[in-house]
Amino acid sequence: MTESSIKKLASTLLDAITDKDPVVQEQVCSALCSLGEVRPVETLRTCEEYLRQHDKLAHPYRAAVLRAMERVLSSRASELDKDTASTIILLASSEMTKTKDLVWDWQQAASGVLVAVGRQFISKVMEELLRKLHPGTLPHCAVLHTLASLSVANAFGVVPFLPSVLSSLLPVLGMAKQDTVRVAFCSALQRFSEGALEYLANLDRAPDPTVRKDAFATDIFSAYDVLFHQWLQSREAKLRLAVVEALGPMSHLLPSERLEEQLPKLLPGILALYKKHSETFYLSKSLGQILEAAVSVGSRTLETQLDALLAALHSQVGGGHQWAGMNKMTWSLICTCCPVACSLPDRLLAFLLPRLDTSNERTRVGTLQVVRHVINSAGECLHASPAAAPGRVQDGDCPARAPPQPADLTATPC
């Protein structure tokens, strides 16, 4: 088919996307994607022209076109020329920020286009997003979301831009008053930190192997100060969990002396949240990452915090929770605590042994399971090397490999 034929067919399909029947709309999108698989550049250019020329088109239909473009780009972005990529980036950026109100389906669709293009043309996408960060003004939530998503999709491409991104975002962090905006900032900081840790853990494949943690440490600490000392005190549970999720990977990028200085406040602050949240997955994940960071810098603070850590851990795995229902992250937390506990065996036994005298059978069973794990893994814990990517608690890192099988709680433990 000639270029004009492709354009005419794509235009006909786009005219049908406003059909009131959702089934027809889905079929139109599928047809556009199929056409884009064969002739991606012509199809994407026609979609871009259509949205630009139909400025009054309602946002649900605009979102549908953008989602079709994203699906094409996810497999064909490498076939774009620079001019087409630039045109699509400008379109998606405009669509994403056209309204300040939250219209998530539309904005997420535009964000998806930018992320898809960013896998191949990261510099052009980042330059456009940086232009959306204005001094003294809070960024659009969709811009934060896109920056976060790009950090996951293309860490090697985004991390070199992080100093510029952070220098633009940190001065306005204190201006965020709405919980939705604060959650967006937390998500972005979490993903930035994860991307930086992935980059640092794979310097042999990184485009700039000279990048070091120091490049982010000061800015990350400034963000940590706001998140921990201000936002974590929020009454909104969703915001508290977003802060906790961010603090885990951020702790690995803090300057060593700052991390040691903050641990006496940070660890009790995280532990206190176990009483406020019934779902503890993200708390355990973050706590595990913070402990991992503390162990990696040889923290001396952990000794003073050990009893509180063990008490919180024991409440999760032996204080009434059935082992059959124990989530993998809680087990990973046991594994992460192991190097801390194994370095202080007397303190560990002094904590655990009295709990074998309790009349609560579940507590005794849980205590025995913890003792069994520590004994089985003590040798490996003391000589364990850090995980491949710091800040990421992995199920396979534990010498025990997997949570124990559920105990028979009807039997009396020996």
Give average pLDDT by consecutive 10-residue segment, the chain, 414 residues. 82 92 92 94 96 95 96 95 97 95 93 97 97 94 97 96 95 94 97 96 93 93 96 94 96 96 94 84 87 88 82 64 47 60 72 83 78 67 47 43 39 35
- Polymer length in residues for the chain: 414
pLDDT of residue 330: 56
Q: Are 103 and 93 in contact (CB under 8 A)?
A: no
Please, which residues have CB within 8 angstroms of residue 409's CB and are 6 or more apart in sequence?
A: 322, 361, 362, 365
Q: Are 68 and 32 in contact (CB under 8 A)?
A: yes
pLDDT of residue 404: 42
What are 83's two structure tokens? 């001019």
What are 35's two structure tokens? 């056409």
Place of tokens 């939705």: 180
pLDDT of residue 280: 79
**H runs (alpha helix) in 170-252:** 179-201, 214-229, 237-251
SS (H, E, C) 321-352: CCHHHCCHHHHHHHHHHHHHHHCCHHHHHHHH
pLDDT of residue 358: 81
pLDDT of residue 360: 82
How many angstroms separate the CA atoms of 333 and 291, rounded?
9
DSSP annotation of 300 reads S
Q: Which residue, 339, 332, 337, is CA-closest to 395?
A: 332
Please, which residues have CB within 8 angstroms of residue 187's CB and are 6 or more apart in sequence?
A: 144, 145, 148, 242, 245, 246
Q: What is the pTM of this model?
A: 0.84
DSSP string, 154-175: -HHHHGGGHHHHHHHHGGGGGG
Angle at 288 between CA 287 and CA 294, to 5 degrees: 90
pLDDT of residue 390: 52
Helix/strand/coil percent split, the chain, to 5: 75, 0, 25
